[in-house]
């Protein structure tokens, strides 16, 4: 996806004014004209094609994804740190990392959305079985299997084509009786970014240490020490550093 669309600036200002009425603090309310500017951001979203495997939930290092249910897909929560591990993990590519920009100039607001390409971790099914004593032949598993590997004969138990199964675990997660047992192999997170630390620029304010969601960065004397094994390459420390001593770059 690579989409650009435009909106009149006065329409946008009207929407901001309406939104500001919901703010409790009067000093935060919008009262003037929006100046020309460029705003860049990135967000992660889960599409309705979610197969309810909950792999993303299990792998999220900061518990920022709400469990999926049969009736609804998983959902990214507000405490997401944009590490992109969920997007690397999703077996059906339904988690999207979107790069966005808004360019306000003259009487127009131009938006640009781009779906970033994210590498995918290796996922393999090692063993999967159906417990015939628990299976109720409800066929809920059939609804969510992304490869059509499951069939339920009339009056029989679920049958799984192990050659077609990718080991995502959707069937095991949605089965109301817990009749499906799965053993799978999930490869390591693929590191496509690196965190650069400028020790000379650092002012030892400890903001990075206080805000790191996985305790991967510490201040040891006058030096920043990064635990590469713990670091999830999110955007927290690099965006919060007040002097730009930390920078997240693509490898």
If asked whether residues 36 and 66 sit together in one domain, one would say yes
175 and 207 share one domain: no
pTM (predicted TM-score):
0.84
> Structural domain of residue 246, as residue ranges?
193-250
Q: What is the pLDDT of residue 107?
A: 82
pLDDT value at 169 more than 90: yes
Residues 203 and 169 grouped into a single domain = no
One domain for residues 180 and 158: yes
Helix spans in the chain (H): 9-20, 55-59, 85-89, 140-144, 170-174, 207-211, 236-240
CB crowding 82-99: b at 16 or more within 10 Å, else e: bbbbbbbbbbbebbbbee
Q: Is residue 20 within 8 Å of 89, Cβ to Cβ? A: no
The pLDDT, as a whole number, for residue 155 is 85
- Mean pLDDT is lowest, of 103-112, 135-144, 179-188, 207-216, for 103-112
Do 167 and 80 share a structural domain?
no
Which residues 6+ apart lie within 8 Å of 13 measured at CB?
Answer: 30, 33, 34
- 243 and 200 in a common domain: yes
Q: Within this chain, do residues 58 and 97 fall inside the same structural domain, yes or no?
A: yes
Q: How many domains does the chain have?
A: 3
């Amino acid at each position: 996806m690579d989409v650009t669309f435009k909106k009149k600036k006065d329409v946008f200002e009207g929407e901001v004014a309406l939104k500001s009425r919901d703010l409790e603090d009067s000093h935060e309310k919008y009262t003037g004209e929006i100046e020309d500017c460029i705003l860049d951001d990135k967000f992660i979203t889960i599409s309705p094609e979610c197969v309810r495997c909950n792999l993303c939930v299990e792998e999220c290092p900061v518990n920022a994804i709400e469990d999926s249910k049969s009736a609804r897909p998983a959902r990214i929560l507000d405490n997401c740190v944009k590490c992109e591990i969920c997007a690397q993990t999703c077996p059906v590519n339904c988690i999207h990392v979107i790069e966005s920009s808004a360019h306000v100039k003259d009487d127009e607001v131009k938006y640009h959305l781009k779906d970033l390409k994210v590498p995918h971790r290796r996922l393999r099914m090692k063993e999967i079985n159906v417990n015939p004593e628990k299976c109720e032949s409800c066929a809920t598993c059939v609804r969510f299997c992304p490869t059509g590997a499951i069939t339920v004969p009339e009056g029989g138990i679920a049958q799984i084509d192990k050659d077609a199964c990718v080991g995502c675990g959707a069937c095991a997660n949605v089965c109301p009786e817990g009749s499906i047992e799965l053993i799978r192999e999930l490869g390591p997170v693929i590191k496509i970014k690196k965190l650069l630390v400028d020790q000379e620029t650092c002012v030892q304010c400890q903001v990075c240490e206080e805000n790191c969601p996985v305790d991967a960065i510490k201040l040891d004397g006058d030096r920043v020490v990064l635990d590469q094994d713990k670091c999830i390459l999110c955007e927290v420390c690099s965006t919060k550093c007040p002097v730009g001593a930390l920078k997240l770059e693509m490898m």
